[in-house]
Chains A and B, each alone.
Chain A
Amino acid sequence: MSKRPYVTIDGNEAAAYIAHKVNEVIAIYPITPSSPMGEWADQWTAEDKTNIWGTVPLVVEMQSEGGAAGAVHGALQTGSLTTTFTASQGLLLMVPNMFKIAGELTPTVFHVAARSVAAQALSIFGDHSDVMATRQTGWGMLCSNSVQEVMDFALIAQAATLKARVPFIHFFDGFRTSHEVAKIEQLTDDDIRAMIDDDLVIAHRARGLSPDTPFIRGTAQNPDVFFQARETVNIFYQKTPAIVQEAMDTFAGLTGRHYHLFDYVGAPDADRVIVMMGSGAETAHQTVEHLVEQGEKVGLVKVRLYRPFDAEAFLASLPATTTKVAVLDRTKEPGGSGEPLYLDCITAMVEGERSGLKIVGGRYGLSSKEFTPGMVKGIFDELAKPQPKNHFTVGINDDVTFTSIDYDPGFSIESPKVVRALFYGLGADGTVGANKNSIKIIGEDTPNYAQGHFVYDSKKSGATTVSHLRFGPTEIRQPYLITSANFIAVHQTIFLERYDVLAQAAPGSVFLLNTYVNKDEVWDSLPRVYQEHLIRKNMKFYVIDAYDVADKTNMGGRINTIMQTCFFAISGVLPEDEAIAAIKQAIKKTYGKRGEKVIQQNYEAVDQTLAHLFRVPVPADVSSTVELPSMVPAQAPDFVQKVTAEIMAGRGDDLPVSLLPIDGTYPSATTQWEKRNIALEIPIWDPDVCIQCGKCALVCPHATIRIKAYPEEELAGAPESFRSMPYKGKEYPGWMYTIQVAAEDCTGCGACVHVCPAKNKREPRFKAINMEPQPPIRDRERENYDFFLSIPEIDRRNVNTRQVKTNQLLQPLFEYSGACAGCGETPYIKLITQLFGDRTIVANATGCSSIYGGNLPTTPYAVNSDGRGPAWSNSLFEDNAEFGLGMRLTLDKRLEYAIELLKQNAELIGLELVDGLLTADQSDETGIYDQRQRVAALKQRLASLNGAAGLKQLASLADILVKKTVWIFGGDGWAYDIGYGGLDHVLASGRNINVLVMDTEVYSNTGGQMSKATPRAAVAKFAAAGKPLPKKDLAMIAMSYGNIYVARIAMGASDAQTVRAILDAESYDGPSLILAYSHCIAHGINMTTANDQQKKAVDSGHWPLLRYDPRLVANGKNPLQLDSRAPKMPLRDYVYNETRYTMLTKTKPQHAAELLTLAQEDVTSRWHLYEQMATLDYSDES
């Protein structure tokens, strides 16, 4: 038996490692937090890594989890060892197949990173609501509590399923376990072979469908036999627990780690016992051990095998002395008599005639809510009461139905031998990557055990990361965040004005700050609360100007290795020279593939660091008068003050139930209150150069470049630095014009500056808008922006919406989103809200646009001064077209009913008013304005007719008489893959809906997996060797219906065509589909200049601009109009500006060349086809 190595990996990698070793076919689909399992499997297959039988598993990406389950089912039925990985809604999409797979007694293991199922809101974080929703499918369910257990149970499950013929879900907590990096013992191929019986594998294969030994499976059965047939499997379920235990016993013989169906920890004579499963059981385990040492008679039963539930084994695991049991569920079953595990335990006790036990159920940890030793102790304390609360919650303050129990948040059982370190970084500075390396160094180069857990931001730009690292001489069972740290590093000074991070500092701990401020002046620059912590807690204070070191060593903004070196130097976990050698080794491992120069730069940064690291003496007295600013201004609404601001401050955990909306309904327009100040530089307008084209505002992804035209008198009271110039153009004679930046909301992407066509004639490096450092002008520009906002918005009736110059004067109703800096999607959304936002309902597919559109704490859809704005909702990933259609159906039906009521009550209401309402022309803003006036008059009239029959109904429907527009937003993963069937159906419905597909040509939100929109030759996850097949032509498919308005647009190539297409689509009384080229960081491009890439995409023929307007046929015109010219540059001149293409030239140059040739042929032949279609004669069709 070969020696087992220790590896430092996360739970996903641990599961994928076993899955790849014991399967032949793997069908996958990305969903957080399970996506990395599929990515690992795909990567290992790409690297020709074999399973234990010496063959490389086949990995295939499907169009949805439903598709993956279908493919798995088919592969299983033909005898392959097959698996998949999923979570949350993805698992639920597999349920129908899971019933089939179990009904057919098919061995397989699905590995699930358990995640919340969306209810009042989506959540990507961990709980058991997904796996619990599948417990009726007939699958075995085995739960891992830690990264080591993930690897162990993945194998035990595989061994058991082959013997039992019962399929298994092997699950573990999303993020807490799936993403926790820990030092574990890796199982070897010999271990795996020892666990897997080849005869069972062959038996499984023999049961597969084959024309050589034909049979049928999957018949339709009737009332006469279905029931009996369903009962045939009972024997298999009866045997399964023993088979699992047998596998656990065999495993123990190999590794020494002996698991049981139910593992008991604690006092042998415990009177109070907690029953639970998942990572929280690790916390409970450690807490129980601590409490037992204190003399308490408490215990814990860890449920390993949840299905089939072996009641006998469960009861046997409870000490005979037990009098009270708390069963904890990490899920909620509203309206049920209890949560699932609790009910199972109750049933076991009743059936096992274990009387005299008091058993209560409780909920904890939903959506990765922290579960701490204090909470465990709180539960035991509750159990100690004569009448412990049943159906309790722990970890929240339920001040409405009073389910929550008390606990001491300060209760800690952290071992003094364990070092606890916190690192506050920005996503862009590489902090997390460096900490992952540090964990590996500590885990693999020292005898220490190590744990790393990483907390990410809800925003995609300027994202804060917090790394929680623990290491120490014994195994670390602490799956909860650090609240008392020995070491706190702040990698960006901006955090000092956002958070009181030293509140988490332990006495005598270290504070390391990266700052531009000189070491001799830094003390005085600290906020008062920081000085207080440093003094009161007797802390050691270190500073480094890591940006200076990074600059000197050509590291750009990457300060990761510099700060990592400081950590090792200060912490002393390794002797300095050994630490530096280990860091360099990690650098070589991380960057080795990327060239010697990159390695040397990092080495240089490491070598330069220590000379720039200084310890700052901590004075005895506080000198600072700098206070932490409040999260939101005083004028923010009450809800924002009480709820939103608390979430922003990192105190969302403390919000009581009573303050949260009951049904997931939140106020619009809250991003305006979150001033993130993340831009180092912001654009400043130069009126002397400006030509007033409006392009800067159009391309701004965050609506932080605003334009207004206004009468000169509005300038009264303007701040001295407020800029303005006369409006150029005949639309608004005598008016003034201003372009103003929202300084504190801008992300500093620079897209506005790049697209500005006007140059300063004296110094062409300057344009009409130029980047300047933000901090020195923050206050000035804040005042300017406040004044700008106070200028009245332009009357929409007076705006030519077809011109960018004028439509950019319209108020955007989508602002300051959390999208990436330079995002290519958001400018389209923003434009739509400018054009129709005050009468738009949005159905948004899950993905980037639902995250930057709806992720708390603040959301970007805004309202105008009349209180109108986009109404927005997200249903799921796969159903968005149908969701939007449902909205349309409501509007259509409501309008129909309103018209009926108007007609029925015409004389009562007034014939003239009714006639006006019914015959209104709402094709432009004037028509819409006039209709709004009529509706207001109608409401007044209805109010005056109080009590008349049917009029109350009409009053509630009146607003529908103003034209409403339904927009269905989503990305290519939705439109081309998972939602395609629904999209097709909705487009074919003939209903007046508008679909905007923001096509990034890859699954952006889950990290760059291939979709059917991915072009040939582009590299993506699941297409590491370049996508071998061409992109699906969704426009062509839609055009084939003949009655769908179709447009392909790219704002960076033609803003005029973009505007035209969006207006045309909205005006078309039928289904419209707009495919919008959306550059993305997943393309590996400079986001500042990305609009140039849009132009190249068009000029090369990759993205031909077109509009297909069915209305033209009636006039004898060809409905297809090509809005771009024949390709005028080779495809290579477009694609080889993007890393997604160039990286293949660095990995497989020959293959890249071949794919490029084919991709060029794709472009050429498609253009020829379009040309022919666009020149067809329709003159006889009118």
Chain B
Amino acid sequence: MDLTTTYMGLSLKNPIVPSASPLSYKLDNIRRMEDAGAAAITMYSLFEEQLDFEAASLTHFLDYGTESFAEALSYFPEPYEFNLGPDEYLEHIRKAKAAVDVPVIASLNGISDGGWIDYATRIEEAGADGLEINLYFIPTQLTLTSSEVEHVYLDVLNNVKAHVNIPVAMKLSPFFSAMPRMAAMLDDAGADALVLFNRFYQPDMNIEELTVGPRLVLSNSDEMRLPLRWIAILYGKIRSSMALTTGIHTSEDVIKAMMAGADIANVCSVLLQNGVGHVSTLLTGVTRWMEEHEYESIDEMKGSLSQRSVPEPAAFERANYMKTLQSYSGLN
């Protein structure tokens, strides 16, 4: 049975790839994911904003109160070396590359043109096999147009592609007015893969304290239907590879992703819940399902339930919505 797939130009032994998450913080976890069968590792994201914040915060507090009072012109020793840049992350990539044989895909969240280019270049130098652009961007300004939002993505992609030779994947928001057009533009700009979709954590409210704050809720299988739909719609229409991320919890979910047209299935919540060794359970399930259903390769099923391949393409459009509503009516 052939489980291989090709994603952003990388030949992978199977389609299961842990997504960017704290799972890759520890080298030991990375090794265990490979041991469990992960075809590649997406590293946790390097956040330029966080690095900037750490540096600014350190500078602020090291300077705060200094040179004000004659007895205490400073409050901290001044070490000759701070490790404030991306060095720790880059070193982690180097170690990961040395520790595993599967491809290592870095993930980058920048906030400035210089940051995107600088960090992407250094990530490539550190040996990453690919780079996922994690553009976590919530456009809140009333004056920002959809076109401007689209260009934020395109500009970053163009900048990074112009400076690195490793394949580049774009992790996308699901909130584009014209998703196919957006995908096509990114495809034209040279995106080696699209990752659908970034799962923005939604803030929650505490009505006792009158506060708003983050609350982590792990995904479930139902959530995969949004990316599933769009991958199915885009399959065959763009050159870029596609990764389905969000909501893949079972082997069947992996099969669905492939049938929609994804090249890989990113997993995270299910590993956080069950441990990184769960990759092997998923793989075993995929293999068993393929055996039971007499599929010989991933390639054979890839895109088989995409919009262009199914007998009812409209199922992915408004008709699908109408049918769903009708199904509720039927229950009543």
Contact = CB atoms under 8 A, between A and B. Distances in A.
A1085 B64 CA distance: 9
B65 A427 contact: yes
Nearest to A1138: B61
B82 A457 contact: no
Contact of A597 (B56, B70, B76): B56
A1024 interface: yes
A651 B313 CA distance: 89
Given A42-B77, A1149-B83, A427 B66 contact: yes
A277 interface: no
Nearest to B63: A430
A983 interface: no
A1081 B82 contact: no
B71 A124 contact: yes
A560 to B, nearest CB: 9
Nearest to B73: A1007
Interface string A594-610: 11111010000000000
A759 B68 CA distance: 36
Interface in B47-72: 51-52, 54-72
Interface in B180-220: 210-211
Contacts of B210: 759, 761, 764
Contact of A1139 (B51, B62, B68): B62
B304 interface: no
Contact of B70 (A33, A426, A820): A33
A1008 B72 contact: yes
A175 interface: yes
Contacts of A957: none
A291 to B, nearest CB: 33
B122 to A, nearest CB: 12
B55 A598 contact: yes
Contacts of B60: 556
A1006 B71 contact: yes
Contacts of B55: 594-598
Given A1146-B84, A1147-B79, A463 B68 contact: yes
Contacts, number: 153
A465 B65 CA distance: 12
Contacts of B67: 427, 430-433, 436, 454, 465
B74 interface: yes
A595 B77 contact: no
Contacts of A1006: 71-72
B81 interface: yes
Contacts of B57: 1139
Interface string A15-54: 0000000000000000011011001001100110000000
Contacts of A1147: 79, 81-83
Contact of B83 (A426, A597, A1019, A1146): A1146
B147 to A, nearest CB: 27
Interface string A579-597: 0000000000001011111
Interface string A405-444: 0000000000000000000001110111100100000000
A1140 interface: yes
A1142 interface: yes
B49 to A, nearest CB: 10
Contact of A1082 (B59, B70, B75, B83): B75
A235 B133 CA distance: 81
Contact of A427 (B69, B75, B88): B69
Chain B interface size band reads: 35 or more
B292 interface: no
B328 interface: no
Contacts of A175: 70
A1005 B69 CA distance: 9
A593 B70 contact: no
Of the listed residues B51, B59, B62, B83, the one surrounded by the most CB atoms of chain A closer than 10 A to its CB is B59
B294 interface: no
A408 to B, nearest CB: 29
A1020 interface: yes
B76 A124 contact: no
A1084 interface: yes
A1053 to B, nearest CB: 18
A1081 B70 CA distance: 15
Interface in A1134-1182: 1139-1140, 1142-1143, 1146-1147, 1149
Given A42-B77, A556-B60, A595 B69 contact: no
B204 to A, nearest CB: 15
A1019 B63 CA distance: 15
Nearest to A1005: B71
Given A456-B70, A463-B69, A1008 B75 contact: yes
Contacts of B79: 46, 593, 1024, 1143, 1147
Contacts of B51: 595, 597
A1139 B61 contact: yes
B156 to A, nearest CB: 18
Nearest to B211: A764
A596 B69 contact: no
A460 B82 contact: no
B78 A1008 contact: no
A135 interface: no
Contacts of A1005: 71-72
Nearest to B210: A764
Nearest to A1023: B77
A558 B72 contact: no
A145 to B, nearest CB: 21
A859 interface: no
Given A598-B55, A851-B71, A1149-B83, A43 B78 contact: yes
A1021 B72 contact: no
Contact of A457 (B68, B73, B77): B68
Given A1005-B72, A1146-B82, A820 B65 contact: yes
B85 interface: yes
B80 interface: yes
Given A124-B71, A1008-B72, A1024-B77, A594 B65 contact: no
Nearest to A765: B210
B86 to A, nearest CB: 10
Nearest to A1024: B77
A1081 B65 contact: yes
A1084 B76 contact: yes
Interface in A457-476: 457, 459-460, 463, 465
B70 A124 contact: yes
10 closest residue pairs by CB, A with B: A427-B68, A595-B55, A1007-B72, A1084-B61, A764-B210, A432-B67, A1008-B75, A1139-B61, A456-B70, A1024-B77
Given A33-B71, A1008-B76, 15 more contacts: A35-B71, A46-B77, A427-B68, A430-B67, A432-B67, A456-B68, A594-B59, A597-B55, A1007-B72, A1024-B79, A1081-B65, A1084-B61, A1084-B64, A1139-B57, A1147-B82
Interface of A: 32-33, 35-36, 39, 42-43, 46-47, 124, 175, 179, 426-428, 430-433, 436, 454, 456-457, 459-460, 463, 465, 556, 558, 591, 593-598, 600, 759, 761, 764, 820, 851, 1004-1008, 1019-1024, 1081-1082, 1084-1085, 1139-1140, 1142-1143, 1146-1147, 1149
27 contacts: A33-B70, A124-B71, A427-B65, A427-B68, A433-B66, A456-B69, A457-B69, A460-B65, A465-B68, A594-B58, A594-B62, A594-B82, A595-B52, A596-B85, A597-B51, A597-B52, A597-B55, A764-B210, A1005-B72, A1007-B74, A1008-B75, A1008-B76, A1019-B76, A1081-B75, A1140-B76, A1146-B82, A1147-B82
